Amino acid sequence: MSQRVLHGLAAAGGVAVGRALVVHDPEPAETEGAGGEAEQDRAVAALGLVADELARLAQVARAAGRAEEADILDANRLIAQDPELLEEVRALAESASAAASVRRATARHADLLSALDDPLLAARAADVRQLGRRAARLLSGAPTFSPPRFPAILVARDLGPADVAELELAGGRVRGIALAEGAGTSHVAIMARSLELPMAVGLGDELLETREGEEIVLDGENGVVVVAPAPHVRRRALAAVERRLGERRTLAQARDLPAVTRDGRELRLLCNASTSAEVAAGLAAAAEGVGLLRTELAFLEFETWPEEADHLACLEPVLAPLAGRIATVRTLDFGADKTPPFLAGTTERGLALTLAHPEALTDQLRAFLRAAAGARLRILLPMVEAPDELRTARRLLFEALDTTAWTGAAPEVGAMIETPAAAARAQEIAVEAAFLSIGTNDLVQYTLGLDRELPLASAQAAADPAVLGHVAAVVEAAHARGIPVEVCGEAAGEPPLVALLVGLGVDELSVAPARLDEVRAVVRGLSFAAAARTALAALEAGSAEASLGLGRALVSAEARDELGEARDSLDGVVA
């Protein structure tokens, strides 16, 4: 059989080769009159089982140090438990089967979300549809997929976050994902990137004609799938896979080298973390410490503010490996998409919210001091907008110091700059801070009105000249006071943006542990002088695409020796 080339959208980079593992969603019977109380109970119970599965998978992901995946799974669990959705399911199941009722209710809710023309809600709409499909599979007794005994490419119409989280149960034999539908900015795509699984979406219904076990070449960089590939295409793909593995080995061998540009500008590389597993992974990849330790994720289900003992139980195992190293611990960043039950309906977030509850903040500060003995503790305050907020928080820290056994100098207190308003007041804020940290995810959202829950889109949008202008202003304000600036958002792990951030004068980059090797290579391959010229040009560029292109060209031209040759595209082979 001759090869079939399907073109879709890139969702997660990389090339994979395997045999098709096809997921078929059962189509529930649509006949009316099959409902009743028993079907209502079955439908609601199925969604309850989906919620339980999501909770279990979120717990596994969080224990493995994948906080972002866990957050997505938890958000989907809450959707499955939504009272309005359950009420509609019960109403439909009065006269229809349980599976049909679940599918109809979730489809209607998804359609309502999609009609609002909001990127965040569009992503959640896809998740809602997948919850219905997953519940229907449970009702039919069909598994998501049977773990393969061979290297496989998972083929489906669409998948949900729980489906992707379960891929780890396949023992690494699922090498990539190909979807007939889907979007490159979906939660599924985010999780595929986290798991480093190549993924292409929007490949069309022709993909679903693929037979079980048919060989597939997947090019996630270009959104291309080749079914029954010709021998030369298969050879090129296998060579690309091996080349990427070799690149990773080469990058890992440079972990003992400093993150210093070719002309002597040295940066500090730190890791983002929320669990002990992430801290261990970061240190194994030669991070100098932690640049952002998230502390709120363990308390998203709490019914009251966590107390000192609660914080201490979570912090001690995470901070223990950081003796003698930098431990940048962020105070609770509740609010927005991270709101526990006891704060339902709150409009405040970040530092403003915790300052309104000073006893709760003091409890956490005391726990920091008790758990971080031996580490170089830096306390990071989220969503700072005014210098008086820092003064108040520092007063609470001094009170906590008086009642603990902390020895030595007081920990450094830093401010997260995450809004245009904070960037505009960076000079004032810098007077009160020991360091500044830029959270690019929120800065992008508030500057451009984009969705912070779509990390790849937000990271690339951080190249917008308006966002880069805020970064430049923060760096200038901090350096005028002689204090360092770190970037801890998703942008700090994207090579083209790393080049621009280096050029703007950022001192520290804090990234996911898996990104450390590549970021180190980018820094070592750059000339700071060339990066500074490129960053200046990016500030004057007309769009995020234009400035991102400048960063990409600089990395391609200057950092190739450190990063290895660019991976070949399959497009030229199959044309």
Tens-digit pLDDT profile for residues 361-399? 999 999 999 999 889 999 999 999 999 999 999 999 999
Q: What is the mean pLDDT of the chain?
A: 87
What is d(CA 17, CA 221) in angstroms, rounded to the nearest whole number? Answer: 14
Q: Would you state the pLDDT for residue 141?
A: 76
Q: Mean pLDDT lowest for which of 79-83, 124-128, 312-316, 567-571? A: 567-571
**Final residue of a structural domain among 107, 140, 173:** 140
Tell me, yes or no, whether 340 lies in a domain. Answer: yes
Tell me, yes or no, whether 29 lies in a domain. Answer: no
Q: 324 with 393, same domain? A: yes
Confidence bin at 70 (pLDDT 50/70/90): confident
Q: How many domains does the chain contain in total? A: 3
Residue 167 or residue 393, greater confidence: 393
Q: Would you state the pLDDT for residue 562?
A: 58
Percentage above 90 pLDDT, the chain = 51
**CATH at 132:** 1.10.274.10
Q: Would you state the pLDDT for residue 168?
A: 64
Q: 133 with 115, same domain? A: yes
> Torsion angle, CA of 132/138/139/140, rounded to 10 degrees?
110
DSSP states of 267-318: -EEEEEESSHHHHHHHHHTT-SEEEEE--SGGGTT-SS---HHHHHHHHHHH
**pLDDT mean over 126-145:** 79
Residue 336 or residue 539, greater confidence: 539
Q: 397 with 537, same domain? A: yes
Confidence bin at 568 (pLDDT 50/70/90): very low
Q: 154 with 215, same domain? A: yes
> Which residues are within 8 A (CB) of 172 and not within 5 positions of it... i.e. 6 or more apart?
none
Q: 231 with 292, same domain? A: no
pTM, to two decimals: 0.75
Q: 302 with 283, same domain? A: yes
**pLDDT mean over 23-34:** 60
Q: 329 with 226, same domain? A: no
Residue 427 or residue 61, greater confidence: 427
Tell me, yes or no, whether 479 lies in a domain. Answer: yes
Q: Which of 469, 465, 447, 441 is nearest to 550 (CA)?
A: 465
Q: 235 with 258, same domain? A: no
Tell me, yes or no, whether 10 lies in a domain. Answer: yes
Residue 60 or residue 241, greater confidence: 241
Percentage above 70 pLDDT, the chain = 89
Give tens-digit pLDDT for 206-235: 999 999 999 999 998 889 999 999 999 999
Q: 118 with 100, same domain? A: yes
**pLDDT mean over 8-24:** 89
Tell whether the model's pLDDT for residue 2 goes beyond 50. Answer: yes
Q: Mean pLDDT lowest for which of 34-48, 371-385, 443-457? A: 443-457
CA distances 527 to 185, 248, 289, 530, Å, are 32, 23, 25, 5
**CATH at 202:** 3.50.30.10
Confidence bin at 170 (pLDDT 50/70/90): low
Give a three-class secondary structure readout of 102-137: HHHHHHHHHHHHHCCCCHHHHHHHHHHHHHHHHHHH
Tell me, yes or no, whether 131 lies in a domain. Answer: yes
Q: 123 with 169, same domain? A: no
Q: 226 with 304, same domain? A: no
**Final residue of a structural domain among 112, 140, 168:** 140
Tell me the two tokens of residue 109: 């809710």
Catalytic residues: 187, 488
**CATH at 434:** 3.20.20.60
What is d(CA 287, CA 328) in angstroms, rounded to the nearest whole number? Answer: 13
Tell me, yes or no, whether 355 lies in a domain. Answer: yes
Q: Would you state the pLDDT for residue 453?
A: 46
DSSP states of 141-201: T--S-PPPSS-EEEEES---HHHHHGGGGGTT-EEEEEESS--TTSHHHHHHHHTT--EEE
**Final residue of a structural domain among 231, 248, 265:** 248
| Range(s) of the domain holding residue 559 | 254-563
Question: Amino acid identity of 180?
Answer: A
Tell whether the model's pLDDT for residue 416 goes beyond 80. Answer: yes
Confidence bin at 107 (pLDDT 50/70/90): confident
Q: Mean pLDDT lowest for which of 64-68, 178-182, 205-209? A: 64-68
Tell me, yes or no, whether 78 lies in a domain. Answer: yes
CA distances 2 to 206, 213, 339, Å, are 15, 16, 53
Q: Would you state the pLDDT for residue 486?
A: 98
Residue 21 or residue 70, greater confidence: 21
